[in-house]
Amino acid sequence: MKLKLIVFSSLTISAVSSFIPGLTHKASAVCVLTDVGIQVAIHGRNSVANQNNNVSQQASKDCYNNTATSTGVQVYTGAGSVNQNRNSSQYVSGGHNPTGINMPAIKVPVNVQVDVPAYPKF
């Protein structure tokens, strides 16, 4: 009798556990903003590379479960000087936050600047 009860209990638990994922909410999070800017300058030894990367990342106070991603690559190779300027602006809003707890957006600005004065003087 005890063996039948154990087998029946394990079958019941297996059957019920297959419905549990359908009853739970999917994973959601606050808004995430990612910006990746890459500037590479390979120029003459007696010249300069001015590299500027201006990033603005904004999110509404109630933003939830939205993302924004932007990328930009600038490459210069030459004997003279160079000015590399990049401006990026992101804004996200909206979404439905079932928790009612407002969290700040996650902002990930990645700025890679490579300045290689390699070319000989011409």
CA distances from 65 to 17, 31, 79, 114 (A): 28, 5, 47, 34
Amino acid letter at 102?
Answer: N
- Rounded to two decimals, the pTM is 0.72
Tell me the per-residue pLDDT of 44-87, one tens digit each, with 9 for 90 and over.
998 999 999 999 999 998 899 999 999 999 999 999 999 999 99
Mean pLDDT value across residues 2-26: 56
Whole-angstrom Cα Rg for the chain:
27
CB 63 within 8 A of CB 96: no
Q: Which of 72, 114, 74 is nearest to 90 (CA)?
A: 72
